[in-house]
Structure 1
Amino acid sequence: MVLLRLLVQFQRDYPHYQVLAHNVNHGLSPHAEQWADFCEVYCASLNVQLLRSTVNIQKTSRNSLEALAREARYQCFSQHLQADDILLTGHHQDDQLETLLLALKRGSGSTGLQGIRAIQPFHNGHLVRPLLNFSRKQIIDYAETAGVKWVEDESNQDTDFDRNFIRHQITPLLTERWPAIASSASRTARLCQEQQGLVDEVASQDLQQSMCVRLGTQTLSIAALADLSQARRNNLLRYWLKFNGLDYPSSKQLTVLWQEVALAEQGKQPCLQLASNTIQRYQGELYIVPVKPLIIPDSPVTWSGEPLLWVSPDKLAVDFSMVDAALAKLHTISCCFRQHLDPKLTCLVEGRSKSRSIKKLLQESQVPTWQREQVVFIFIDGQLVQAIGVWHCQPSPTKQLPKLNLSLRSI
């Protein structure tokens, strides 16, 4: 509520900015609708548009209710953010202290001790916490002086939640002994953020030296990993997984990943099971393999000139950005998967003298077995011209067709 009031004052001085408030009903309190109504009345008094959303949280044994609610809330925010929007939240200095204490409790490394960032990229915009250097007391004092009313969530008093236990039982003792503890914790978080930035720079350089891209999938060379020290290798593996949208692995998972997957005996097909993916080894490289199979369309997908053609909903796209869109009007250009092909189809690959079946070519090209059904084949006017990222077919001597510069984008 204080943040919203400050933003409205900011907008008066900078009217070209638009302020939008967003209330998310998590469905966890019987008073949630009343809170949303309270926000609506207040926003109306400030002439601020209010967006109201409801999320459905499915409790699981593996995740805390706090984490599930936070994930659902930010997912809701991301769905409504437009390009270059800025999402602002009211996190403050006491939240930072609680976050660092929770990280210590979990045994987090430097990544966890970064705490809450003041500014970070988020979805297609940025996430900013402008009150992070102010204490809860300063914010409450301002609210009382300015006459800002607020609603207290009754769950904030429930010390069964770790954060609330720290807030009500631990923080008062710490601040009584060390009044500047929250400020010191914030300084620690900023230092860890700076150090983590340096560590990420090293990991980024190592990633460039160690990675390959196979059919739009980023893989890591096991030989390149073996040349690194254990600390640097673990740092790269964490960075690689995070870079691909996965959570940081535990120390135990890192040990299993290296000792039991990367260094497993030849002929074995070990894997590390994560929440929604597995890490597998194939031909000397580590792959991130989604547990859920790719959704294959029932029929080939025809290109209409767009820069990015999604061939599997929100998961896999063909990048046509380097191709002249006018070709879509001159030729019929289709994207197919293996299940769309004639089983008897053969291809004469560039540089070869003999045609081979698609099955044989995929084997010879060392495409992992789980990726063979995901290879995208390009047909121009009914003629196979390439398997993206795997091979180009030899041009027909009787029919002149354009050569396309294509790549895959996977999410």
Structure 2
Amino acid sequence: MRSALPAFNEIWQRQFRSDCLSQSETFSEQASFLIGCSGGVDSMLLLRLMSLLYPQKIRAIYIDHQLQAPSADWGRFVAESCALLNVPCIVQKVAVAEGNLENQARSARYQAYQQHLSTHEILVLAHHQQDQAETLILRLLSGAGIHGLAAMRALDQRDEMTIWRPMLNLSREQICQWAAELNVQNIQDPSNFNIQYDRAWARAELWPMLQSRYPKMQLALSRSSALMQDAEDILADVLAQDMVSCGTSDRLQLEKLQALSLPRQRQLLSAWMKGQEQYRPSFDMVQRLMHEVIDSKMDSQAALHCNGFYYLRFSGGVFRISSAEYMLSKHEQFAMQTIQLHDNQLFKVLSGQFQIQYTETYGLSPTLLCQNLSLVQRQGGEKIHLHGRSGSWPLKKAIQQAQIFPWLRHRIQILSIDDVMLGVFTPKGFWLAESPYCVAAGWQPQLVSSDNRKTGF
């Protein structure tokens, strides 16, 4: 009896081969392919199809997670299968970190892929239509939005790699039929049937129940993910416009942010907080940023920590700074230094890199060059008489007026000689102090580059 599903030779000539070639038209002529092979029926069929489509342009990689006793044997099986097809094969062992086993194994796997991908090489994975539907269901149950429900794309362009999933529109039934027709050998990973894992549970328990009620569920869910991908692309266009309007990767202007509707504010903050990470922060974390930081009182100094960054509000903006920079501002203390400066010298202090240059106006006396000068971190309570202004005033007030960010103020250092203040090094440059050493056409340290781009407004 003829199978209800199209035979391999029939659909290969009519559709699948042409679809794959069409999808890959965006790749450069130099493109080659690295195929992720687990040894299962899906990836082993993919290996066979790619060997027919792109002979001499493919390699395979098996990731040994070392979580099961026969994993090394599976690696040898994949390598031997590749040898029969004249396909080079990499077997890579990885260590899976503690935590959510599925997530950590996936992370280790993709790190290994990235390690072995060559220039112009595309990572090819064997995800199929049921994988797509399962992904959408699991993400829906976890409270995902458009980005999660868009699930997997046939062509997925990431900053570090390009992923191609040419079998994403094939059903598992079709894959199994083709594998049988082509006599594709494979192994069975028992973890795929262990329902303590979410995906295995969904496949064994949830899927049959839903499919008995909705026989065309798999196709419908796949179509839903395609619609979500369209919505995601539209949202990406809006986000790009809002990001240009509201700020940069380090800072958002609150006035422009709050002029947007609340949904657009949430979406922009979510994308902004994601930065270069793979996943967006939780909805609750975005809400905390809005309520605890953005809506906080101006003098509250509220700070929210999320994924290695601190988010702070300051003078009309909300800022994203690294945890390391933030913690330095809270705890780092530096001892007094003795330095000698020379004509045209390029030197570095906490605020950045400076160079000694002569000015046409006022500066420091040349007699100070090559002398021992003191450099000390501000402690608080100091006063400064800025050259060209009348009277002394608190250094703290000068810093506030210059709008130097609070998390950079630990970098401010005072230059002096014999307890006479000569000036102050700040992330915005050197401030010359009024002193007996001020002379016409003297020298001043000129800021060449700051240690931190976020120096102020």
Q: TM-score scaled by structure 1?
A: 0.73
Name the SS of the counterpart of 1:87 in structure 2: strand
Q: Which residue of 1 aligns with 2:284?
A: 252
Quick check: 1:9 aligned with 2:52? yes
2:405 aligned with 1:368 = yes
Aligned to 1:108: 144
Judging changes above 3 Å, is the alpha-carbon distance between structure 1 residues 144 and 392 closer, same or farther for their aligned structure 2 residues? farther
Contact 2:122 2:163 in 1 (8 A): yes
Structure 1 residues 371-390: aligned runs within 5 Å: 371=408, 390=428
- The correspondence of residues 2-41 of structure 1 with structure 2, limited to 5 A, is 2-12=45-55, 15=56, 18-41=57-80
Q: Is the 8 A contact 2:129 2:172 kept in 1?
A: yes
- Alpha-carbon separation, structure 1, partners of 2:197 and 2:236: 32
2:299 aligned to 267, 278, 283, which one? Answer: 267
Q: How does 1:9-408 map to 2 (within 5 A)?
A: 9-12=52-55, 15=56, 18-60=57-99, 64-212=100-248, 218-245=250-277, 247-293=279-325, 337-338=350-351, 343=375, 365-371=402-408, 390=428
Residue aligned with 2:146, SS: coil
- SS where residue 211 of structure 2 aligns? helix
User: What CA deviation, in whole Å up to 9, does each residue of 1:292-327 have, x standing for no partner?
Assistant: 45999xxxxxxxxxxxxxxxxxxxxxxxxxxxxxxx
Instruction: Give 1:105's aligned amino acid.
Output: L
Q: Structure 1 residue 132: deviation in Å?
A: 0.4
Partner of residue 421, structure 2: none
C-alpha contact (below 8 Å) 1:84/1:125 kept by paired residues? no
Distance change (3 Å), C-alpha of 1:280 and 1:173:
same
Structure 2 alignment gaps of length 5 or more = 1-43, 329-343, 355-373, 378-386, 390-394, 413-424, 433-439
Which amino acid counterpart does residue 108 of structure 1 have in structure 2?
A
Compare 243-252 and 359-368 and name the one that shifted more.
359-368
Partner Cα distance (2:223, 2:260) in 1: 32
How far 1:252 sits from its partner (Å)? 2.2
The offset of 1:164, in angstroms, is 0.7
Structure 2 length normalisation: TM-score? 0.66
Task: Write the distance in 1 (CA, Å) between the matches of 2:165 and 2:441.
Answer: 63
CA 1:409–1:367: 2 relative to 1, 3 Å: closer
Partner of 1:318: none
Q: In 1, Cα distance between the equivalents of 2:278 and 2:226?
A: 24
Deviation of 1:339 (Å) = 8.6
Unaligned ranges ≥5, structure 1 = 297-330, 346-351, 376-385
Percent identity of paired positions between Structure 1 and Structure 2? 28
Cα displacement (A) at 1:122: 2.7
Q: Which amino acid aligns with 2:313?
A: R
Alignment deviations for residues 178-205 of structure 1 (CA, whole Å, 9 cap, x no partner): 3321111111101111011111211111
| Partner Cα separation in structure 1 for residue 155 and residue 162 of structure 2 | 7
C-alpha deviations, 1:63-110, integer Å up to 9, x for none? x21111111111221222233321110000000110111012112121
Contact residue 98 and residue 104 of structure 2 kept, 8 A: yes
Q: CA separation in 1, counterparts of 2:95 and 2:324?
A: 22
Q: Which amino acid aligns with 1:130?
A: P
Q: Is the 8 A contact 1:21 1:50 kept in 2?
A: yes
Q: Whole-Å Cα distance in 2 between the matches of residues 4 and 340 of structure 1?
A: 54
SS in 2 for 1:366: coil
Change (3 A) 1:269 1:88: same
Note if contact 1:81-1:124 (Cα within 8 Å) is conserved in structure 2.
no
Q: Indicate how the Cα distance of structure 1 residues 250 and 52 shifts in structure 2: closer, same or farther if over 3 A, else same.
A: same
Residue type at the aligned position of 1:22: I
> Post-superposition shift, 1:52?
2.0
**Counterpart residue identity of residue 134, structure 1:** L
Opposite residue 261 of structure 2, the aligned amino acid is S
Deviation of 1:260 (Å)? 1.5
Partner Cα distance (2:402, 2:91) in 1: 52
- In structure 2, relative to structure 1, the CA distance for the partners of 1:148 and 1:251 (3 Å cut) is same
Letter in 2 for 1:50: C
Partners of 2:46 and 2:126 within 8 A in 1: yes
Q: Indicate the SS of the match to 2:250.
A: strand
Q: For residues 224 and 340 of structure 1, do their structure 2 counterparts lie closer, same or farther at Cα, with a shift above 3 Å needed?
A: closer
Contact 2:266–2:286 under 8 Å retained in 1: yes
Cα distance in 2 for residues equivalent to 1:409 and 1:2: 51
| SS of alignment partner, residue 96 of structure 2 | coil
Task: Tell me the number of residue pairs that the alignment of Structure 1 and Structure 2 aligns.
Answer: 350
Q: Which has the larger radius of gyration?
A: 2
**RMSD of aligned Cα (Å):** 3.8
> 1:300 — aligned with what?
none
Q: 1:286 to 1:180 in 2, by over 3 A?
A: same
SS of residue matched to 2:83: helix
3-state SS, counterpart of residue 179 of structure 1? coil
Residue 55 of structure 1: how far off its partner (Å): 1.7
Give the secondary-structure state (helix, strand or coil) at the position aligned to 2:218.
helix
